[in-house]
Structure 1
Amino acid sequence: MTQTLASLPQFLATWARRDPDARAVSDGTRSLTWDELDRRVTSVAAWLRRFSFDGVRAAILADEGVDWVVGFLATLRAGLVAVPAFAPGRDDAWLAATIIDAAPEIVLTTGDKLLDVRALLDAAGVQVWRIVAIDTVPGDLFDLDEPDPADIACLCYTSDSVGVVITHAGLVDSAAHTAGALRLGDRAAVVVNWLPLCQMGLPFAVAAPVFAGCPSVHLPADRVRERPEIWLRALAANPGAVTAAANSFLARCPVPDALDLGGVRAVLDVGEPARHRAVLPGSGLRPDAHRAAYGLLEATGLVSIGDGPVSSGRPGRAVAIVDPVTRRSLPAGAVGEIWVTGPTVARGYWRRPAASAETFCALLRDETDAGEPGWWLRTGDVGFLSGGELTVLGRLENRLPAGEAAVQAEAVEATIERVVPELLPGSTVVFAVEDEVVVLAEAPGPLTCAAAVEQAVADGYRLRVRDVHVGLPGSLPRTVAGKPARAACREAYLASAPAVS
């Protein structure tokens, strides 16, 4: 479908007319066709308009499944501003911080979560106009005005509870880029997702499928982290599956016997550099199905998708590699900060004008010298362009001092896991403490390898090692996507927390 419509609900209505009985969304317990999804979204949107108006913020505090998707699309359809989140009980500290910052007037949840939501709001001291149970809204249908493409569609919150302002136009453009790169509109693809829908899962697993008329299957992130087999079996059960996961999760994901993933179209390696290039061994996954991808909330999702596990491919929007000090662009092959510009770049941070100006309104010296300045997004990520393709190396904040040079912590972690194979893959964290580095890792059992780790770091990078701690599986704090939570690991180490002792 060509991109002539202005919002995701308009694309939804189009698929409801064109292919009403085809599967649209499922979550393991329920499934809706495009017609059923459109009717349900319109009913909830009409109900919301009874006690709200354009621009009112509505937080979605539901389990990530069919009802969550209905609630999100209904919020957009009603002209409200969605605040994607999840049901209480998973990360209530993040949830409370997000709700306090967004200050929504309405909360959407499900009937079985009403008491939990009320308790969370009371504890956070947040008052709302109305709490709506998505699954109990009556099935009334009313005509509603379409949102303006420039209107705010949603506030997506980062792991630090900073709201990113995304417009309808940005969400649709991001969906078009992702759907095109993954060929989601060829009627043979199925998006299978467990990434948080409040963050990168939203443009990947909600926006892109609705844009392309592609069915999506939603799995609970907390259960997949505990039992990856749930995700793998869903991939095997859906030929043409397109999915995404962090490399550290893929590297330590056990494959059940006799499970065949030969029908999987793509496993996008997102959220961190791909230090492990051979993933899901013995599963039958085609080598060309493992593809590196790069994206961030501030760019409304994926910026580039590669054809293999190393390069993230040719960016779908303008990308520059920039010296973060001089703010001048660097030549091909040079390593620098990744800057992005284009229609998918978010409007800024919610109620943070100074941070928005610094991050979203960066100026390239090359362009200002030429009298043609334009705004760029500073991603804070490090990488290089070669042959027009982008390779991501890590975060600027993760650079480690090594004499006059600097090295990426992500590269040091990859070296350690290669030199000391007894460590669990995707379970090593390196960070600086003053002018030395600390290494935290996990192993299947007691392991004495401090000397080998120190030697690998010294030989490869000339870094001084302050400390090495190797714990049992599960000892490192992790994000909801299964990656080691670097900041939390550092804080735990400095506080001598048992989790990393």
Structure 2
Amino acid sequence: MSAAPGYLDPHYSLHPDGSRVERLEDIVRKRAAATPELPAVIAPEGTTTFAELDRQANRVAQALLRDGVVPGDRVSYVGENAASFLAVLYGASKMGAIPTALNFRLAVPEVEHILGDTEPAVVVLGRGQERLAAAAAAVGSVRSVVTVEDGPGTTGWVSWLDRVREDDPGYARGADETALMFYSSGTTGRPKGIELTGPNLGQALAAMHYLLEFDTTAVALAPIPFFHVSGLGLALVATLNGSALLLRNPTSPADLCRILQEEKVTHAVAVPTVIQFLMALPQVREGDWSRLRYMIYGAAPMPESVLRDATSVLGCKFLQSYGLTESTGGVTILMPEDHDVTGATSHRLRSVGRPMANVPVRIVDPVTLEDLPAGERGEVLIGGGHVMRRYWRDPAATAATLTPDGWLRSGDGGSFDEDGYLYLHDRLKDMIVSGGENVYPAEVESILTGHPDVAQAAVVGVPSQTWGESPIAVVVRVPGATLTEAELIAWSREHMAHFKCPISVAFVDELPLNASGKLLKTELRSTYGS
């Protein structure tokens, strides 16, 4: 099988006026013209209409022009999800600058590295990020440091936008220009800037636009930060469709449970870890989920037992998407009808679905890059218009990730079944070779989480004089459980081949995750690999 065919509606994502999405800056322009008085953003500090968001973006654009920013300059935002983030996103785009979303959870030295690499002209710091003001001001390229809350040595948001015009500069970015830049999570080294174009974003929005039943009555919640492509993707598609974007940052699974119900959320995005924590709450089973239409998940494997429970309790449509920031987010879809937890196709729950329309996906030998047939495991390659432009100022990394003919090397191991469903088998570097046998941690983790006393499990390889490598498990118990290492190892030997079973188990209160909810196996190897 050289590539699995896409099966979704091939149309390109549409604006309210029926035109194609080619430019990020046009999303808010055209939505404000279509439904100016509808709520665009619902935040603790108030509601912002589409017309108000568009005008605020215009003021940001004019303030940037006043500060000497020119097309192609970078404008960085560091902060939690907020209306000001969206104003900077659209405002920078309207005058041709490249908005750059930074992880607000990073330590100061990590932010300093990214700002030094980005060389932004303006840095906007969201609420609570004043600690970064001195570091931002020290970057030679920075003309202005703006804080949403006034702080010493900075320009406050209100004064920065005071006395500027509200007209749209009208910049129209070229299709081959960088429209937006994210930074990788840095789980495999220093974070890299990922350059995405307007057509990248337009194609990525297409599937959500047509599949998720967004309309002007929808309320979308993306607790995933906007510096992550899936969090910002939901914000963009909500604006595209005239839906309200609810900006709440849940402080706990219980808080998320409350917000989803009280705010009548219709569309939510969550990583599997969050859904797993949510389902552990007793109050979830007594909640009113009648307004919830879709739960979109991805970014990490979902234990099958959790998925079965969640589909039963929440009663909404579930949709999974697999992708990378380098592929502008999701490139496969596991449709709601594929979430059959009891029927003959229930095995598809272990897949990440089938490729979207116009997104070629291949499984290849990671050395020769030759295509592999269905059932054989290899590296996932992604092609088409979703693929990033390049890594920012890093031609070596770009060449290592993009093939000469434009395929994106994901670094993920995967295989297709005969029906074109994609199954992931860990990052290639995560595969454990024990006594000549390949051990795929995701497979072992899925089995371990089937134990009633296991809430979460992560499996990594450690050196072995006898076998080369052996798997160990790092486990979070279900609250109140007293499961022991010996009991879990004995149980695992009843459910899988012995060479796949962990040789030891470490129990922890929580697994290390990055800001995107992805498991940091590098930390586990560092802690338990000796």
TM-score scaled by structure 2?
0.81
Aligned counterparts of 1:266 and 1:92: Cα–Cα separation in 2: 37
1:49 to 62, 65, 88: 65
Aligned-partner Cα distance in 2 for 1:446–1:113: 38
Label 1:488 to 1:262 Cα distance change in 2 as closer, same or farther (>3 A): farther
Structure 2 distance, partners of 1:422, 1:133, is 46
- Comparing 319-328 with 235-244, greater Cα deviation is found at 235-244
1:449 matched residue in structure 2: 484
What SS does the corresponding residue of 2:446 show, helix, strand or coil? Answer: helix
Cα distance 1:329–1:198, how it changes in 2: closer, same or farther (>3 A)?
A: same
Query: What's the counterpart of residue 300 of structure 1?
Result: 328
Q: Which residue of 2 aligns with 1:416?
A: 448
Does the aligned pair in 1 maintain the 2:299–2:517 contact within 8 Å?
no
The aligned residue for residue 374 of structure 2 is 332
* Structure 1 residue aligned with 2:132: 117
Q: Once the two structures are superposed, what CA deviation does each residue of 1:354-378 show, in whole Å capped at 9, x if it has no partner?
A: 221121126xxxxxxxxxxx32111
Residue matched to 1:76: 93
Q: Is the Cα contact below 8 Å between 2:414 and 2:423 reproduced in 1?
A: yes
CA distance in 2, matches of 1:302, 1:272: 12
Pair 1:172–1:141, CA change in 2 (3 A): same
User: Which aligned pairs between 1:288-367 and structure 2 lie closer than 5 A?
Assistant: 289-307=317-335, 308=339, 309-316=349-356, 317-361=359-403
**Residue matched to 1:436:** 470
Query: Is 89-98 or 35-44 further displaced after alignment?
Result: 89-98
The DSSP-based 3-state class of the residue aligned with 2:354 is coil
- What does the per-residue CA deviation read over 1:250-273, in whole Å, with 9 as the maximum and x for residues that have no partner? 122244623222321111220122
Q: State the partner residue of 1:180.
A: 210
Indicate the SS of the match to 2:490: helix
Q: 1:62 to 1:282 in 2, by over 3 A?
A: closer
Number of residue-to-residue matches in the alignment: 471
| Inter-partner Cα distance in structure 2 for 1:196 and 1:452 | 39
Q: Which residue of 1 aligns with 2:410?
A: 379
Change (3 A) 1:91 1:304: farther
From the superposition, tell whether residues 72 and 33 of structure 1 become closer, same or farther in structure 2 (CA, over 3 Å). Answer: same
Number of the residue aligned with 1:468: 505
Q: Which has the higher contact order (CA 8 A, sep 6+)?
A: 2
Contact 1:60 1:83 (8 Å CA) reproduced? yes
Q: Could you tell me whether the CA contact under 8 Å between 1:312 and 1:390 is conserved in 2?
A: yes
**What's the RMSD between the two structures over aligned residues?**
2.7
Match of 1:367 in 2: none
Q: Name the TM-score, length of structure 1 as normaliser.
A: 0.86
Which position in structure 2 is the counterpart of 1:365?
A: none
Establish whether residue 243 from structure 1 lines up as the match of residue 280 from structure 2.
Answer: no
Secondary structure of 1:183's aligned partner: coil
The residue type equivalent to 1:349 in the other structure is Y
Change (3 A) 1:481 1:358: closer
Give the Å deviation of 1:431: 0.6
Query: Aligned partner of 1:154: which letter?
Result: L
1:96 deviates by 3.2
Residues 172 and 211 in structure 1, CA contact (< 8 A), matched pair in contact too: no
Superposed CA offset, 1:436-463 (max 9, x none): 2221112235745222333355562414
| Residue 7 of structure 1: how far off its partner (Å) | 1.3
User: Which residue is equivalent to 1:10?
Assistant: 26
1:311 aligned partner, one-letter code? S
Aligned match of 1:275: 303
For structure 1, the residue ranges without an aligned partner over 5 or more in a row are 363-373, 496-501
Contact 2:445 2:457 (8 Å CA) reproduced: yes
Distance 1:30 1:384, change over 3 A: farther
Deviations 1:264-294 (Å, cap 9, x if unpaired)?
1111220122223444958974556222221
Shift of 1:466: 4.6
Decide whether the 8 Å contact of 2:228 with 2:516 is kept in 1. Answer: no
Instruction: Find the counterpart in structure 2 of residue 252 from structure 1.
Output: 277
SS of equivalent to 1:326: coil
In the other structure, the counterpart of 2:439 is: 407
How far 1:334 sits from its partner (Å)? Answer: 2.8
* Aligned mates of 1:176, 1:242 — CA distance in 2: 16
CA contact (8 A) 1:79 1:147 kept: yes
